[in-house]
Structure 1
Amino acid sequence: MTSWMKASAAAFAIGFGAMLSPPAEAQNAPDTQISGTISVWTWPNNDRTFAALLPTFNKAYPNIKVEVQGFPAAKMAYLNNLQRGMLGGSGPDVAMMEINMMALLRDRPQWEDLRQAPYNAGEFISNFAPFTVANVTLPDGKIVALPKHTGPGGLFYRRDIFKEAGLPTDPEEVTKLLSDWNAFIDVGKKVAKPNERWMLANGEEIVRAMMAQKGVSNFDAEGNLQFDNPVFHDALEIVKKAADAGLISPFVAWSPEWQGAFGKGQIATVMYGNWFGGLLKRAYATADAGKWGVALAPASEGGSRSFNSGGDYIGILKTSKNKEAAWAFVKWLVTDGESLKQQYQSDDLYPAFTPAGSSDWINYRDPYYDGQNVNEIFAPVQAQLIPSTLNQLDSAATLALQTAIDNVVKGVATVDEALAQAKAEVKAKM
């Protein structure tokens, strides 16, 4: 374990010890007499995750029927359907909120206040990661949802490709090798093959990681656009270096071609939250068990290697016809040990519920990663990450920034030109 990881792990252990107050309310025995049918709205692949969890849930609550509906995340279909349902009073009993939707959705009056009886979430909300608690708590104290999972980020890499290039494959050695972003580019030149294999899937991964490492969001707490912050210019310059060296794939992120590239061995590394491992295992690279490893992302100036990438939340709508059953499902989903274990080991979903960090199941040697305990990466990352500032125009800013990244990668705009255009696009919507 590197010195950074050891120091971070020590801080993580101290912080966890302070947060492990007994979650008495969360651990109450289930009331098997609660009955009825509830609807839950989410998106792929959460719909599959929930479906797989239901047999375990029904052992605790045999008389509750859960109907799960997943709306595609593409083109904001889920968000649009949920907003229409909330406004028209035809929404579900229970709904998910992805972190990028939080600023748009959390202030809506249609959410139940989980602080109030009979929920009383205030009695155990401190058992969730502090930044997730801040995301679900309004200025007046209302708790609109419970945190489900977080997205501590890392660098997923192909051990076999690194070995072929004559590079180390052990996670600790890869972490040392990719010490900073310039080192990442130097290593990428040894890995990439023109029109055949690339070091990185998309330049957006570099920008998002560098922003998070510096604690810079699209907007500051006062709602000011931050595209003039030096981190955006610096990150796009790294993207340009990587693109000029032929390290970035030509595939559009999340497109079928992009997804297929992982299973074909065309992508050597990818930087997202720990949840990306679930996509590799069950969708993108199902035949590649043992070929992947996880290391820390390259460090930005100042030494930070932590970044958050994703996370989601789950709440109850006031229009729910069976709030008792809805609450039983929500609380069980995000605090029950068996639920969290299954989500982590089957779908690589990192629990926001901090007492889970002391469980044996979160520190297991995963065969998909050649027996690596990837929590040795993700736990210190979560302990050191800087929370992002959420804004209702985050989606617009993200789209504008992605266009800027693509234009730099394609060489149709300089870094300054791309940022100026992105800034103008977002300013026009403010």
Structure 2
Amino acid sequence: MVTAPIRRATRARRARSAAVVTALAASVGLLAGCGEGSSDTVTGGGRSDDGTVTITMGLFGLMGFKETGLLDRYMAEHPDVRIVAEVAGDEQTYYAGLERNLASGSGLKDIQGIEIGRAAEIVGTQSEMFADFSGLAGTSHFLPWKLNQITTPDGEVLGLGTDIGPMAVCYRKDMFDRAGLPTDREEVSRLWEGDWAQYVEVGDRFMANHPDDEIAFMDSSSGLFNAVIYGHPEQFYDSEGELIYADNPVVAEAWDLASDAATAGMTAELRQFWPGWDPGLANSAFATTVCPAWMLAHISEKAGEANAGQWDVARAPQGANWGGSFLGVIEDSPVKEEAMELVAWLTEPEQQAYLFQELGLFPSSQTAVTSPEVTGATSEYFNDAPIGEIFGQAALEIPEEQVLGPKDGTIKDLFAQGLQQIESQSKSPDEAWADIEEHIERTVG
């Protein structure tokens, strides 16, 4: 069993609203996508008598294709194509539905988004359901390790990469100033350079010196946990596909640091993207959040104009990749060829660079990574932070080998739930770890 070796002096635990507890059981509903239809009526596309092709897409979160108008642009350039996209706000909800539809063979969209934590499971158990991109021309521009994550042992490529998630730390300059900490992003980066333990130590200093007891240093301990484990090639599984989380020192280190932060009362108990987190951003409830590149757009939207210029971006202690997605095409889609052409276009270097400029979604195309549109990008909302430089450097530090297991996403969610129990239900780290082991044994094997 893994336990935290150090217990820091804590402040009295702040009372939290019932909304945080409610968040444990809440799920996010489906949001209307681009075009017409709903989850009850939108399934696979097809061809009409007049030659029009309808392509359906199942997406999740903020993948950017609808929000930035890329789908509208494609339809304008291809007047015989109609795209209907359905977007789920929560990836867990989305993937549960995708699993059901894959099992039944019905309700599938022509194009399905695949989150990185699900890639190994798709490759291992659902490869026959997805089209093979390996023979499609013009797809050699991706980072090699990105496509490896969605490639079967016999070389079939089951999707094309959208973004990756190089890591940084987003922080509130005004809150750091009130706690007597540096505010310049280079000085802040040096505070925790090379060691996530130093990030937690800075949290101790912040909590001891910030004059407002209701302001937490970080949003949640689960974000810290993810940041630590994703800086290493192996997390929950080894390269042979065996579960190693219980004996992996990387997981032990991440658990010790995250549970230590949770018991020290330095988190706002707000799990990222769950109910309560968005109001926490808007109401300035915490001073830092571990932020992959794709998170910047969400922070700026939910924190709002009132907080523009107060947020900044510092380098993370260690390079890591958290998140990233793929677009796959269903093998039996009646418009498979057109759907594959659309996926190839959406993931071309030009579109990936555009999505980074618009939403901070860092490219998985190595051609886009080195483009001036990416390397020179800044963020006005984040105090003109040179995000192209910061995330570009972080991308170079991402381990080139990243071992994914079939239930990575499920296990990550179980660790997040365990840490949330420490934060909001006062469970001990030992009790929470035991619960996680029990759930993994029952649900993963």
Q: TM-score if structure 2 supplies the norm length?
A: 0.79
Confirm whether residue 196 of structure 1 aligns to residue 214 of structure 2. Answer: yes
3-state SS of the aligned residue for 1:428?
Answer: helix
The residue that corresponds to 2:113 in the other structure is 96
Letter in 1 for 2:297: G
The residue that corresponds to 1:350 in the other structure is 362
The residue that corresponds to 1:269 in the other structure is 288
Residue 202 of structure 1: CA displacement? Answer: 0.7
Distance 1:88 1:327 in 2: 19
Confirm whether residue 360 of structure 1 aligns to residue 368 of structure 2. Answer: no
Kept in 2, the 8 Å contact 1:344–1:350? The answer is: yes
Distance 1:72 1:263 in 2: 18
The residue that corresponds to 1:3 in the other structure is none
Confirm whether residue 63 of structure 1 aligns to residue 80 of structure 2. Answer: yes
Letter in 1 for 2:330: L
The residue that corresponds to 2:417 in the other structure is 403
1:244-255 correspondence runs (5 A)? 244-255=263-274
Kept in 2, the 8 Å contact 1:203–1:248? The answer is: yes
The residue that corresponds to 2:233 in the other structure is 215
Report how many residues are paired. Answer: 384
The residue that corresponds to 1:315 in the other structure is 328
Deviations 1:69-98 (A, max 9, x none): 113426x33123323333324411111101
Distance 2:67 2:426 in 1: 43
The residue that corresponds to 1:225 in the other structure is 244
Kept in 2, the 8 Å contact 1:154–1:271? The answer is: yes
Change (3 A) 1:267 1:49: farther
Distance 2:395 2:68 in 1: 28
The residue that corresponds to 2:396 in the other structure is 383
Change (3 A) 1:35 1:411: closer
Residue ranges of structure 2 left out of the alignment (5+ in a row)? 1-50
Kept in 1, the 8 Å contact 2:117–2:407? The answer is: no
Distance 2:174 2:279 in 1: 18
1:36-185 correspondence runs (5 A)? 36-46=53-63, 49=66, 52-73=69-90, 76-86=92-102, 87-106=104-123, 107-108=125-126, 109-115=128-134, 120-121=135-136, 123-179=137-193, 180-185=195-200
Range with greater deviation from structure 2 (94-103 or 321-330)? 321-330
3-state SS of the aligned residue for 2:155?
Answer: coil
Distance 1:213 1:84 in 2: 32
Distance 1:260 1:417 in 2: 30
Letter in 2 for 1:185: V
Distance 1:71 1:403 in 2: 21
3-state SS of the aligned residue for 1:144?
Answer: coil
Range with greater deviation from structure 2 (134-143 or 225-234)? 225-234
Range with greater deviation from structure 2 (216-225 or 347-356)? 216-225
Residue 410 of structure 1: CA displacement? Answer: 5.4
Letter in 2 for 1:57: Y
Deviations 1:141-191 (A, max 9, x none): 111111111111111111222223232222221110123334323322343
Residue 355 of structure 1: CA displacement? Answer: 0.4
Range with greater deviation from structure 2 (349-358 or 194-203)? 194-203
3-state SS of the aligned residue for 2:331?
Answer: coil
Distance 2:307 2:371 in 1: 28
Deviations 1:263-298 (A, max 9, x none): 211111101311110101223434322221111223
Distance 1:136 1:330 in 2: 15
Kept in 2, the 8 Å contact 1:191–1:268? The answer is: no
Residue 365 of structure 1: CA displacement? Answer: 2.2
Structure with the bigger percentage of helix: 1
The residue that corresponds to 1:15 in the other structure is none
Deviations 1:322-342 (A, max 9, x none): 2232122111100051x2233
Kept in 1, the 8 Å contact 2:223–2:272? The answer is: no
Match of 1:292 among 308, 311, 314: 311
Confirm whether residue 206 of structure 1 aligns to residue 228 of structure 2. Answer: no
3-state SS of the aligned residue for 1:131?
Answer: helix
Residue ranges of structure 1 left out of the alignment (5+ in a row)? 1-33, 299-304
Residue 411 of structure 1: CA displacement? Answer: 7.9
The residue that corresponds to 1:328 in the other structure is 341
Residue 48 of structure 1: CA displacement? Answer: 6.5
RMSD between superposed Cα atoms in Å? 2.4
Kept in 2, the 8 Å contact 1:103–1:391? The answer is: yes
Residue 131 of structure 1: CA displacement? Answer: 1.6
Deviations 1:360-403 (A, max 9, x none): 21122221121121122211221221243222222332233223
Change (3 A) 1:185 1:92: closer
Kept in 1, the 8 Å contact 2:191–2:198? The answer is: yes
Kept in 1, the 8 Å contact 2:218–2:267? The answer is: yes
Q: TM-score if structure 1 supplies the norm length?
A: 0.82
Range with greater deviation from structure 2 (251-260 or 97-106)? 251-260
